[in-house]
């Protein structure tokens, strides 16, 4: 059993309060549901809980172009009609709409992944969890697939300051194209994505022997695992057939390598199943088997009528033949055979952790509204953290 200070969990209630718009499948509210389910199973008592910092524009520009970050910072629903050209250039529109507090939303989920990477870098934890992160489609100069800022790329860039090689594993039903594209020309990051491809179903769990071979060959110093839950059976957008147990088995398997591990969320559009899945996987990371009956919590009505944690896999026919899977496996193993074994890194000075500017609160304009995130630095939020024992008091001191 890992000690409590070896698993860090990042969450900010504001990240679940944004609204993409009517009929949009992305519902950040699923993050609030996940968090309250984690609380109802008392998993928070066995982790260090942190509210992430809001990533600064200069941090986001470590990967994204400065003009794109600046545009996200200033665009709003009230002004977007004035910037039709820029909206098209940065791919903002139907899939990636402009909504209230868009930039703050990006700052929070990106800040969580960056903070998680930094704690792993300084060996302050063995596993870091940010279910709000995992937005793997965003590109350097634009939004894509409901993703605006690619927190995974930013987190990996942090990890590369301390680790020679980073392995990125993606079990979202969609290809982790933004992360792959960002690191396409470096051998210091290997990306492995299991996803639907064309008209054929690719096995979302993957072949565990393949992943073992990747770790054996590449010898990463740290693993980033994107746990998109749209590969579950019954997802509104996904078309895979996984049970929660099958999805969680991927997490369990990767955890067994005992390497520093950064875990994020990702896709997932049947929100009650997303909450179930990521709660189960929080339990897996804590080596904890959770009772199937969901405890009373603020969102209990969403889990009826069964009020059970697990959902079965679907009843779709598996169209992947054994010969097809065998061919895929042989192709992957052949690719691994051809790559350089554990590529080395030239000795150089380790870049410092990114500078975060300080602000003098005495110089702030008292007539300006203080946002919720700033207020939270001064008070403990009763709706997020329960049981004010000494351990939790220490957790809040870290926020």
Binding site per annotation, positions for substrate:
95, 145, 269
Return the sign of the alpha-carbon dihedral for residues 19, 262, 143, 60.
Answer: positive
- The Cα–Cα gap between 364 and 374 comes to 12
Contact 314, 234 (CB under 8 A): yes
Determine the 3-state secondary structure of 282 from DSSP: helix
Q: What secondary structure does DSSP assign to 111-167, as a single string?
A: HHHHHHHHHHHTTS-SEEEETT---TT-BTTB-BTTBSS-HHHHHHHHHTTT-S-EE
Known binding residues for a divalent metal cation: 172, 174, 230
Determine the 3-state secondary structure of 30 from DSSP: helix
- The Cα–Cα gap between 364 and 367 comes to 9
- The Cα–Cα gap between 43 and 275 comes to 14
H/E element, 202: none
Q: Which of 171, 166, 74, 108 lies closest to 399 in space, CA to CA?
A: 108
Alpha helices in 183-270 (DSSP H): 208-218, 244-255
- The Cα–Cα gap between 106 and 148 comes to 7
- The Cα–Cα gap between 90 and 92 comes to 6
- The Cα–Cα gap between 134 and 151 comes to 7
Give catalytic status of residue 36 as yes or no.
no
- The Cα–Cα gap between 28 and 177 comes to 21
Known binding residues: 95, 145, 172, 174, 230, 269
Catalytic residue among 36, 136, 137, 195: 137
**CA 152, 182, 94 angle in degrees (round to 5)?**
70
User: Whose structure tokens read 């937005």?
Assistant: 135
Catalytic residues, by residue number, are 137
């Amino acid at each position: 059993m890992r000690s409590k200070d070896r698993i860090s969990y990042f969450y900010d209630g504001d990240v679940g309060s944004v609204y993409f718009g009517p009929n949009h499948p992305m519902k950040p509210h699923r993050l609030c549901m996940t968090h309250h389910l984690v609380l109802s199973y008392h998993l928070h008592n066995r982790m260090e809980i942190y509210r992430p910092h809001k990533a600064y524009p200069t941090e986001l520009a470590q990967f994204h172009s400065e003009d794109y970050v600046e545009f996200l910072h200033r665009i709003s629903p009230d002004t977007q009609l004035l910037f039709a050209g820029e909206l098209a250039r940065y791919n903002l529109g139907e899939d990636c709409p402009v909504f209230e507090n868009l930039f703050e939303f990006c700052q929070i989920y990106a800040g969580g992944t960056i903070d998680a990477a930094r704690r792993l870098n300084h060996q302050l934890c063995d596993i870091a969890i940010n279910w709000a992160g995992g937005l793997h489609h965003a590109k350097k100069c634009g939004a894509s697939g409901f993703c605006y800022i690619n927190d995974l790329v930013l987190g990996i860039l942090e990890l590369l300051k301390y680790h020679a090689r980073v392995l990125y594993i993606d079990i979202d039903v969609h290809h982790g194209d933004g992360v792959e594209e960002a690191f396409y020309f470096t051998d210091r990051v290997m990306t492995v994505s299991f996803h639907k491809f064309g008209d054929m179903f690719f096995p979302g769990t993957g072949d565990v022997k393949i992943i073992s071979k990747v770790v054996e060959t590449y010898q990463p110093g740290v693993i980033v695992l994107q746990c998109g839950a749209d590969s579950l059976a019954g997802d509104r957008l996904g078309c895979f057939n996984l049970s929660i147990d099958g999805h969680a088995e991927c997490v369990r398997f990767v955890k067994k390598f005992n390497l520093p591990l950064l875990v994020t969320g990702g896709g997932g559009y049947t929100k009650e199943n997303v909450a179930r899945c990521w709660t189960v996987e929080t339990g897996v990371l804590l080596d904890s088997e959770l009772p199937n009956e969901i405890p009373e919590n603020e969102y209990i009505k969403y889990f009826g009528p069964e009020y059970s944690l697990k959902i079965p896999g679907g009843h779709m026919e598996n169209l992947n033949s054994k010969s097809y899977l065998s061919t895929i496996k042989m192709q992957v193993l052949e690719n691994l055979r051809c790559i350089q074994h554990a590529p080395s890194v030239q000795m150089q000075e380790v870049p410092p952790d990114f500078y975060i500017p300080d602000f003098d609160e005495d110089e702030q304009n008292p007539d300006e509204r203080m946002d919720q995130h700033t207020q939270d630095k001064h008070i403990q939020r009763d709706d997020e953290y329960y049981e004010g024992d000494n351990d939790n008091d220490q957790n809040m001191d870290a926020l």
